Amino acid sequence: MKKLLLLMVFCLPLLSMTTGVEEASSVYICTGPKATVYHLSNKCRGLNRCSGEIKAISLADAKEMGRRACKICY
Ligand SMILES: [Zn+2]
């Protein structure tokens, strides 16, 4: 019984790590030089003025690039 409890303690942090669903979802960014945000939808009007390309990347990557969530679609 003690062993089982120990196993649970070790497994819990692992479980919470794999439930990072939000981080795995993809967002849309504009590759233009003035773009600083990421979008939930590639049809967002914030992307209309995009001077570069619209690219789908993971949310984690977008955050790593220092992007903020778009105020229009988020
Ligand atoms: Zn947007």
Whole-number Å distance, alpha carbon 73 to ligand 1 midpoint, is 4
Burial of 12 (0-12, 13-18, 19+ CB in 10 A): exposed
Length of the chain: 74
- Mean pLDDT of the region 11-38: 76
Whole-number Å distance, alpha carbon 22 to ligand 1 midpoint, is 17
Give residue 7's pLDDT band: very low, low, confident or very high (50, 70, 90).
low
Given a cut of 60, is residue 22 above it in pLDDT?
Answer: no
Beta-carbon neighbours within 5 Å of ion ligand 1: 39, 44, 46, 70, 72-73
CA-wise closest residue to 30 among 1, 2, 65, 5: 65
**Model pLDDT for residues 54-74, shown as the tens digit of each residue:** 999 999 999 999 999 999 999
Angle at alpha carbon of residue 64, lines to 62 and 67, rounded to 5°: 50
Angle at alpha carbon of residue 55, lines to 51 and 48, rounded to 5°: 40
Least confident segment among 13-17, 24-28, 59-63:
13-17
Q: pLDDT: is 10 or 17 the higher one? A: 10
Q: Mean pLDDT in the chain?
A: 85
